[in-house]
Amino acid sequence: MERLADLKPVHQRQAAVLALWQWRAPVLAFEFDAEWGVDRSVLESLFRLAASPAGERPDRAYRREAAELCRAPLFTSEVDPDTVQLFQLETISNLLTFGELLDSPGVQVERVVEASAGLATYLDGLVEGSFYDHPAEDAHRRFLADLADRAGEGYFASRHLAVKIACHAALRVLPDSAGLLDSSTGRELLALCEDFGEEVVTTMEWLRMAGH
């Protein structure tokens, strides 16, 4: 497995973007609480700017959009989130952490990547704690069986880890000057993360219907 610390700084940044991208679909697939005042287009812009080539102009634009996001009433009000909203809030927080790494990379990259993995583990706990069997439980078991000793504690943690390993291994071939959106390899990695996110969306919809 490619260790994060073994990657060039530019590729570490891209690893953080890919960690964020795994939660892009879940954060955008559901409506936000109207009282939060969160502008969906600002979040879409933050994801797009994160995946753009590193540089003064996109970084400045990212900081500007992050500042706009922080002006939402969400940040000055008390929130009692449901399951889906909790994931939305954690992903918003991780987008803001990514903004911090533009000025101080290193530890912030680790925070973004670890937070992403933590959400996958938390989702496993919700699925396992449900009174109902997950609709794809048999497929999940087969996936874990195929991983053997490389499996994590649950399906989503293991699936997240598999995506992370594939992404980190491929990052070395990306040009240092390229963003993830302007190379075929980068777009393939984003699509891989998007596939994971769509699976999460399906599970979140099931959790809501199951009354978790």
Please state the length of the chain. Answer: 212
- 154-168 pLDDT, tens digit each: 999 999 999 999 999
- Domain residues of the chain, as ranges? 4-210
Q: Which of 168, 149, 189 is nearest to 1 (CA)?
A: 168
Share of the chain above pLDDT 90, in %: 70
Which pLDDT does position 105 carry in this prediction? 67
Which residues does 190 contact at the CB level (< 8 Å), separation at least 6?
18, 21, 51, 180, 181
Q: Between residues 4 and 45, which one has the greater pLDDT?
A: 45
- pLDDT (mean) for 169-182: 84
pLDDT digits (tens, 9 = 90+) for 42-63: 999 999 999 998 888 999 999 9
